[in-house]
Structure 1
C-alpha cells in the first residue's frame, strides 16, 4: 500500500536506487484504471464475459499486464530501449506512475512514450494496488534473456574457438517486473 517506494537499476557491480511515486491514491486514479480495464481487447470482443471475469485476480492481472504495454493493444506505455526518444520522454525522465497514467487518460488513451522495464513495472504495480491486488516491484541483476526457451544461455564458437558466432540469447545487466 506504500505510495512511495524504491526501484533499483544498474548492474551487479553498481546498483543504484530510483525513488518511485506509485501514486495509487491520486485524484482520478479510479477513473484511469477503470478506463484501462474497459479499453482492453477482451472487453471490446465480449463485454459481458470480460466484466464477469473481473472478480478473478489472475484475469485482472493479465489484462493489466497487457494494457500497460501498448505494442498490440491500446495500452499505456510504448517501449523504447535506446535513443533517440523522438516524440516522447527518455524512460529515465519518469519517477512516478501517476503522470504517465494521467497523460494516457488525458490524451484519449494514446500510448505514452517511452518506458522500459522499471517504468512498466512501476506503473503496473500502481494499477494493481489501486485495484486491491497485493503486489511489489521485483528486480534482478545479471538477468538471463533466453530467447529459445531451452533454459540455457547459448554461446557458439568457431571450430578453432577464435570467432564467436552471435546468439540471440544474452545477459541483461538488470530486469524489473511486478510480482502480484
Structure 2
C-alpha cells in the first residue's frame, strides 16, 4: 500500500501501488489515449508533409536531441528532462482522429500524450501557442493550443520538417525552431 493523493493538504488515502485517488477512493488510473504506433521517419513532398493526422511522433532536433518536457515547470525544451514524448498530430482541439497526411499548406495541433508527472489523472494536453514570445509549454486548455505549420526539407540524406507555430501558425515556436518528426 502507498499513500496516493496530495501530501500538502493530506487529502487522499492508502491504495495499492499503481492506483490513484479519485472522488474519495482508490481507483485505477484512466487509460492513456492511444496513438497509432509511432510512425516511421517522415519524408514530405510537394503534396504533404509526410505526417498524418491521428498519428504520433517523437520530435527531435537536427542534431538528434529530443524536444522534452521540463521537470520543474510545464515547459518544453531541447533535451528536456522527460523524453520520448509521443505527440499526436490533430486537426483541431476536438479532432485527433486518424486520417490523411497533413497537406504542405495545412495546419495542425500537437497533443502531448504523456501529460505532466504531477497530474495523477494522466490528462493529456497541448503544446501551447507560445504567445508573447514565451517558450512553448504544456497546456490542458485546447483553446490555447498552438497552431503549427511545417516545411518539408531534406539534408544529409535525412528528411525533416521545419516547424513554425504560434497562435496562427506563423512565427517561431520558442526552442523548437527546426524539428524532425
Q: What range describes the TM-score normalised by the shorter chain of this pair? A: under 0.3
More helix by share: 1
Normalising by the residue count of structure 2, what TM-score does the alignment of the two structures yield?
A: 0.25
| Greater RCO, CA 8 A, separation 6+ | 1
Normalising by the residue count of structure 1, what TM-score does the alignment of the two structures yield?
A: 0.25
